[in-house]
Chain A
Amino acid sequence: MNPVQQAVVWLNDPLNWTNSGGVLDRLGEHLSMSALAVLLGCLVAWPIGLWLGHTGRGGGLVLLVSNVTLAIPTLALLTILPLTFLGFGRSSVVVALAVFAVPPLLANAYTGVRQADPEARDAARGMGLSGGQVLRRVELPLAVPYLAAGFRTATVQVVATAALASFVNGGGLGQIIRAGFGLDIAAGGGQIVAGGVLVAGLALLVEGMLAVVERLVTPRPLRRVRRRANRRATAATAGG
């Protein structure tokens, strides 16, 4: 039996799904840890990105953050953070994943505000809006397509990276692949491929769903801008 057939057999065994440590457990872990990481990333990156974009400063900082995180191996953060005050367990994995969510969120929030039409900004100011009001009522709505694009890129990246949490026994669907590698490749090949299908399928599913969400939250006149925002986001955060 070749690995693909073995994988089909593995996926068709209901016990592999419902056992403790089975697919359903791992999927729950994977999703909860990704959601927490994206939430944490948003809480940190969006205020900073919007504020930097509003003041027009810190473009260099945004670039620096994305370049530096590109060079840091995920494995290094996953192994270093548990040894700090965060301790072993869920919190250090979530923080490690959040670090990789920050660059796309930050870069898109910054670009989104910077891309707001200067005339709209001037008009708002002329109407007597304060700096905070301009940010809230003019720049923020105009930045929504960029925020959505950044959210999508960051979420997909976190869901993909969460598979690596299995290196430090952090749970998630990656654990299935690791367990397969723990067996012999001839015996575990099916499980390895099945785990790969699950991890890749989840990433593609999340990507597809968020693409729809992104389209829904983008007002129709701004939909042309969306494509550009996407391209910029991928250019800014081309990392695995």
Chain B
Amino acid sequence: MLLHLSYRAAPGNPWFSWQYVRDNSDTILAALREHTWLTARAVLIAALVALPLAVAAYWFRSLSASILALTGVLYTIPSLALFAFLAPYLGIGAVTVLTVVVLYALLVIVRNALAGLNQVPPEVREAAEGMGYGRWGRLFRIELPLALPGILTGLRLATVSTVALVTVGVVVGRGGLGQLIFAGFQNNFYKAQIMTGTVLCVLLALVLDLVLAGVGRLLTPWLRGRVR
């Protein structure tokens, strides 16, 4: 990619422009806020639905195969098609975007949480049973804590891909930073606007990923210092 670093190299339409960022800080911040808010809500809702599903799949083997098959098929369906299916019913707006990104995030979290739960060593499970833990006690005190790394991997993957996916929401006019990128493309290919939206998008994904990684480190102190 050709990047003009000096203003003179690309008069009128540079890739980066502080002038643009300063003049449009309100619009940019509003887009960033909408994007972050959509992502946060989506991952939270997805996690709240996905964890019980993963536990159900873990407890009942027969459910496990069908849940994995269903998520596999859903994952193959392109995001634009999902928007197309939902928009006529949910209307043009944030609800549609939220539903679509929640569905995709759900799949990622269920798969990773289930993998994490399945990695709990059988000896540990049997030992817990021998100590008199019931099904629920074992789940909350033994299995879920041991599955935390898998769950956190799922949350991180889901967050990063959700940040990227929200931009597709421009199709219903609620794409957060995608709105900025798309508007830049339509307004005479305004490079500075496109680039600002893109950079903020990638940065947002990076920051949220780092935050979740930090939370993960705090939640799993026993993994610290262990050679990976």
- Which residues of A are interface residues toward B (Cβ below 8 A)? 3, 67, 70-76, 79-80, 82-85, 156, 159-161, 163-164, 166-168, 174, 177-178, 180-181, 185, 189, 192-193, 195-197, 199-200, 203-204, 207, 234-235, 238-240
Contacts and interface: CB of A to CB of B under 8 A. Distances in A.
A74 B171 contact: no
A156 B88 contact: no
Contacts of A200: 76-78, 81-82, 85
Interface stretch (B20-28, B51-59, B196-204, B215-223): B196-204
Interface string B164-206: 1101101110010110011011000101001101100110011
Interface stretch (B38-46, B122-130, B131-139, B155-163): B155-163
A180 B1 contact: no
A74 to B, nearest CB: 7
B79 A240 contact: yes
Contact of A71 (B79, B88, B170, B202): B202
B198 A167 contact: no
Given A79-B185, A199-B78, A193 B85 contact: yes
B79 A192 contact: no
Given A70-B160, A76-B198, A196 B82 contact: yes
Nearest to B201: A73
Given A185-B91, A193-B84, A76 B197 contact: yes
Contact of B178 (A75, A84, A192, A207): A75
Main SS at interface, chain A: helix
Given A84-B2, A185-B88, A74 B167 contact: yes
Interface of B: 1-2, 72-73, 75-85, 87-89, 91-92, 104, 108, 111-112, 115, 157, 160-161, 163-165, 167-168, 170-172, 175, 177-178, 181-182, 184-185, 189, 191, 194-195, 197-198, 201-202, 205-206, 209
A79 B181 contact: yes
Given A71-B206, A160-B79, 7 more contacts: A3-B88, A73-B178, A73-B201, A168-B185, A193-B84, A199-B81, A199-B84
Given A80-B195, A193-B88, A234 B111 contact: yes
10 contacts: A72-B201, A73-B167, A73-B181, A79-B184, A79-B185, A80-B198, A83-B189, A164-B78, A167-B170, A196-B80
B189 A181 contact: no
B167 A185 contact: no
